[in-house]
Each structure stands twice: as structure tokens, then as C-alpha cells.
Amino acid sequence: MRLRRSSARASAPGKVVLFGEHFVIYDNPAILAAIDRRVNVTVHVNTSGSINITSDLGLIASFEGSTFHLLKGTTETKTILAPLCECARLVLSERGCNLGLDIELVSNLPESVGLGSSAACCVAITAAVDSLFHEPDRYWVCSKAAESERLIHKDSSGADCNISAFGGMMYFVKSKGFTNIYSKKELSLGLINTGKKHSTANLVSSVKKFKDINRFSFKVLASLSNAICQKAFAAIKEGDEQMLGNLMSQNHVLLQEIGVSDKTIDELVDLCLTNGACGAKLTGAGGGGSVVVLVPHNEDGSKIFFDGIGKNGWGSESIPVKVDYNGVLVA
Ligand code: MEV
């Protein structure tokens, strides 16, 4: 395919998993929301033939065929950037074009804390590179980004790439795709970042071990997660925040059972509830990461909550978030 331009920009949102993480990998439903925090990607065609990636995490590397050159960063730079290089190469190969690219990543999404930064990077890079050739199709971007995300964690359900590509709120099942959910009432969501980074791949494999050892319990927990998702779908549509909060807390107990919560997260969930939240739970893979909280949708509810969290020392780590309805954007 012929190039239609020599540079492009795209951005893609992060996400929160409101219900069903981990169980979604085994084809149970999950409910996700895209959030108003994004990864921004700029791509320029270069004449060197190599793929050069700069990230505002302080990482710079160049990939020349199978040779990796570390220009700035740590020993982890290759692990972080190589899948993103493959993501760009996948699009180039699909478009039958072997090009050198300079890729710059700027993110306002903290990484490795359950907010979907890997998926957002894959979605934004796929869209930016594809838009060098033509107007990208969201479904295509989503499926290619999900292929690339599997290089980062091989058992990915694909939920994160779907929500990042399409935005909004969705009910997602791996084998069936997604259904959009629209709420009668705006949901006031917040995030608290524990600051403890995790590896999604390690957590997913620890849950697999749990599942293999505790087959019957896992089946029961998965069916409870499934039932919570069905009720949550209805509660979001109705804008019933008390019901929704309650279901979030129930979902958190299931995540404790499969071993992905920890003391800090459990204490934070309790702190949220004692400060007026309707509900709170870990979000994403767990093992640290972030807590998602639903607060009453009125000024008082939100103020009481964030003031209380601030007094307990978590002020700088807690932020209100809005649902992003744009999904991936190409400029
Ligand atoms: C991560 O955001 C959600 C997990 O269920 C992994 C996945 O769905 O790929 C833990």
C-alpha cells in the first residue's frame, strides 16, 4: 500500500475494569470503562530504515532488523519497547511496506498499575502507523493491537484493547466481543494508585495455578463473577450507584479469593467505604496497582470522599476520573 503521508499522530485512552477481571480470560464477562487519561503517539517516517522509539518514561531505543540498541534507559527497556516495535512492524507488514519509523510516546497514564497502558500504547501505535497509509478502521486497529498486546502478556483476553479502541463503557466477553453500556446517570469514578507496580503476566499465571489446583472453587467463583456482571450491567443502565457500589465490593471479595489483592489494596478499599464511597475494588490485574472507587454523584459526595482520602495520606495518589467516549483518535 502507498504512503499517503510521512507523519501521523494518534492517542488512545486507558481503562478501568469495573467488574470481572481475570475471570474474563476464561470467557466470563467483564465490564470496563475507558478513562480520560491517554497515551499519545507521534510517528515519523525516517530514511534510516530502523524503528526508533522514545518514551517519556525516559527510555530511548533503536531496533535495526533483529539488533537492539539501547540509547537511554534501564535493563528493562528492551522488554518494554520490543513489543511496541513489533506492534509497528505488524502494521507495516500488513500494509506490505518496510519502512523506518521514529515513534514518540507521551503518556498521562501511569504504567503497570492496572490502567491499561500497554493496551493503550498498542492501540495508539497501530492507529498512528496505519494512518500513514489510509484512514484506519477501529475494528482492524483493535484486533491488530490485541495481537501485539499478546506479546506483552500472552493470555490477554483482549478486553483492554477493545475498550481503548472504542471508548465508553462495555460488557465484554472474549469469544463474543462487546456490547456498549449507556448509563441513565453519570457515574462518579475515582482511582487510587497504590504505587506498587505489577506484572500482569505474572498475576495471570498465578490465577491459572489457583484455577488448576482449585478447579471446583474457581468454577463457583467464576459463576459468582458472571452473576455480578449481569446485575452490574442492569445497575449501570439504571444509574443505580448504591447497587453498583455494592456489586463492586462483592467483586473485590472474589478477587481476594483468587489471591490477587494485598494488604494495601484491602485497607484502601475499606478506607474508601468509610469515607462515603458507594463501592470500591481493585481494578485490573491486582498485586498492587490501583483501586477504582464509585462515589455518590453529587458535589458533597465527591468532596467528602476526596477530603477524607487526603486526610489519610492518599491525597496525591487519588484522582477523580471521567468515562472517555472517544476511544482511539487519529490526527
Ligand atoms: C487486565 O486489565 C485484566 C486481566 O483480566 C487481563 C486480561 O483480561 O487480559 C487481568
Confidence (pLDDT) at 315: 86
Q: Is 1 within the bounds of a domain?
A: no
Q: pTM for the full model?
A: 0.96
The stretch 132-150 carries a mean pLDDT of 97
**Residue 306 has which C-alpha cell?**
476526596
Same domain, 108 and 193: no
Same domain, 165 and 222: no
> Does the C-beta of 25 come closer than 6 Å to ligand 1?
yes
CA 191 to mean position of chain CA atoms: 13
Instruction: Name which of 95-99, 110-114, 183-187 the model is least confident about.
Output: 110-114
Confidence (pLDDT) at 226: 98
The pLDDT tens digits for 142-158 are 999 999 999 998 999 99
Same domain, 134 and 238: no
From the alpha carbon of 22, which atom of ligand 1 is closest?
5
* Residue numbers of the domain that contains 290: 189-321
Same domain, 196 and 304: yes
Same domain, 139 and 38: yes
Q: For ligand 1, atom 9, which residue shows the shortest CA distance?
A: 156
pLDDT of residue 113 exceeding 90, the answer is: no
Q: Is 2 within the bounds of a domain?
A: no
The answer to whether residue 270 is catalytic is: no
Query: How far apart are alpha carbons 77 and 81 in whole angstroms?
Result: 6
- 10 Å CB burial of residue 226 (0-12, 13-18, 19+) is middle
> Does the C-beta of 289 come closer than 6 Å to ligand 1?
no
**CATH number assigned to the domain comprising residue 124:** 3.30.230.10
Tally of structural domains, the chain: 2
Distance 70 CA to ligand 1 centre (A): 30
Using DSSP, state whether 32 is helix, strand or coil: strand
Same domain, 63 and 163: yes
The CA radius of gyration of the chain, in Å to the nearest whole number, is: 20
Distance 303 CA to ligand 1 centre (A): 31
Could you tell me which residue, 133 or 197, shows the higher pLDDT?
133
pLDDT of residue 251 exceeding 90, the answer is: yes
Q: Is 264 within the bounds of a domain?
A: yes
- The answer to whether 285 and 297 have CB atoms below 8 angstroms apart is no
Same domain, 15 and 81: yes
pLDDT of residue 264 exceeding 90, the answer is: yes
In whole numbers, what is the pLDDT of the chain averaged over residues?
96
Confidence (pLDDT) at 298: 87
Catalytic residue among 130, 160, 240, 324: 160
- The answer to whether 41 and 125 have CB atoms below 8 angstroms apart is yes
Same domain, 160 and 228: no
